[in-house]
Structure 1
């Protein structure tokens, strides 16, 4: 059976929520975000069960028609069996990948449905991208082959586009901008729970592609009457997760609808007005899990009512915003700190942020720049986030970040090796010829996270000869003075040059005394 408008809406909402969570992965992922993936994965699993049951019914209908009229249904029956074999194969392979990632995450006894180390960032890379045994290229090839096989059997252009899109292995626009292919952008450095959810989404898309092909095969042998006789009630929410203050919306439908009559829908004992066209809407004043039930009723050809019961749960979440600094969970005073501020389900242009205390905050493209005041070191940088939801500006969350002073920089001597490659000398032994070829010293923070240069204000050199005699010389900037160069030129192998009294100023405007350097002449 083809996807209804309500089911397509639900699918789009699930995909949107998944993409929002993926966009937050480069951040310091919170427990709430990881739990959000669990909730999305559970919803996807429910959709897989519903879609699989619907597909099984169509297979059964095709098989029954084949038994009664083999000449008419031979081609459709054979094609249906081929679709089933291809679908089962790729579905089982995706399940195998989920299990392998779970094992890499939690060990041999891992439970796919109850992952412990949800935030593990290495497991998916090992399984999918590892040079030895990585499954990413194989999965892409299998998906491409399956997608083309299914699309070739769907005559409707709009449905072909949907299947091509949901099973596409083309990288997203953001991934292309970052020069990443589909495999890298989907699996490299992603939390295990996010990748399991992504693979579950692929399983659901595979099942829905299977259903689209089966629907057209069923039409070829006139199974409409059989499907109408097997009516089922479905609740298709536009989203199973909504923020407080945003209405919860869901469509109540039957699997097959007679266009000459509208079904009677009763929810929690109250009949839904016919002009609602099956749209159920209820306010969400408080967070929590809510349930509703009822029945949908339609008259059959003999005039007798056909009733199907339904029951559904939905979750109302507190508004949530993510404020994540590029440099861990702290902000450094006096310098520009890049932040990503996002609200799930809300476009970036509809998100606003202001500073409650601690410094300044300004937008920079899709990101934000925070500059904490040096006078606030040790205090909190507090950000208030709001978003436009359904045309109304709404407070979302408040985030506090620690303000720290910049770490102490280290002094170094930059030079070029014999191959022309730039090098950095911090301590140890260096040839006098190389030392004389340098201009002076520099300083920076370079710990693999920050890379911030500092201005050298002054420094002192002291040469120590074999007799222990010390000769000091001064420089009033970053470059070696002429007297210091002459001092180094007189030094012989084995003598020591000590660079001390190093004063530097960072972008925060604070002057610092740096650790000395010991240089042994070779």
Structure 2
């Protein structure tokens, strides 16, 4: 497994290989051997993907060369031909080492007594399905191998049967060829002449490092030491190429120190595992080849559209708040500085302006209106090399936030029991407000209704903001409230409040809050009793909120300045019966 940068697939295969190798110390079961066979098959398929990937880059350059005709494209043809020549040199080096590793696989199989002379594709009984072809490795069917668990043969062929620390023969040659290829492909990628510019890259061996971070640091220092290289444009590719091909020469396994990588990798490794390890090395080589070819392709214009500049581009969610996790999509955008796009707004932004800063973008400027969101639509068009315009629709949604502020009176944080307490909550900076609490809550228009019940004396309400673009909800504030019964209402005789002067002819009684209590609670008179000083007999009584004739006659007997007293039973929205008394002068 490579010590440097690896693809997720390579890391997965490497981890599986290490786990299975460790298990071999206990027992080489058929299930484990089958697992190695499956791993090898997956690696072979991945290797073919890398081959096709690299071939695609070469094909793009060849197609561009075929379409670049005429005197006006002479300079471009020369550049494309130079690129193809360098690509051919890379493939020549790659094919040599791929064949060497294929030959090692065949030698191991032959030493183990397996039949490798016959080639028959997709035959379950044949080992060699396809012979190698240039940079394309041969296809093997390890399921047909009878000596899957033999480990002496791989160790013998790779020269580690006597000394794991100092491989001999083919093992030593494998290590040297692999590292020579690493140096060669980096130099072939970074050493070139295009036009009047010449660049040179030389490498030095790096096979000892603590970890990937240390490796990255050493490789960067080595590449940066190439003062004649085109570090401005080639540096990342050169570093990645070298790092992805780098393996530690010496490793420590348990109590054994300083094992050579070849010895540690193939020590008592079953035949099928050894073959898989060699295929994994080929995958490193083919991945490096694809990266090198892609780097060369990027130095010339290919495809239907021309690009000669690149620029960073970042975009993401249109709303966010303090403490939010924001995820941006960051990419490198390619554009032609001589062929700017044409941006048109078709809907959603009247009076919008479009400016072209020359970086392959059209910048649309507009003011947001009211409402919760604004959707802007339009088209963007660009011409290909033949002058044919390509037009695509675009759309962007802006979530509109409403500015808000809040003032609270902490001492008046009260929720009244069994009453529809109106609650207004605002999650500033979010396009949706969510209210939760320890009391029943319901939504009513833009407000919430909190209606505590039971005997609890305290409740909490929590306001959260929800970003409907990301689906994330963030808790913003939790507030404690006292829970109390509704205040007792005042008794009114007509328009007169308790203690005021009443009218003898008034017959209606009311229980309600005065203006100092801004609650919209409705109370109902259940029963009443009326008294005047010195009246004989039992005081008149009745139900409802209207005095009867007996009560009215009694009140008319009262002398000016006397008090008329009422004792009423009232019921509010909470269902509690209250005794309320009132005295009025006449």
TM-score, normalising length: structure 1: 0.40
Higher strand share: 1
TM-score, normalising length: structure 2: 0.36
Larger Rg: 2
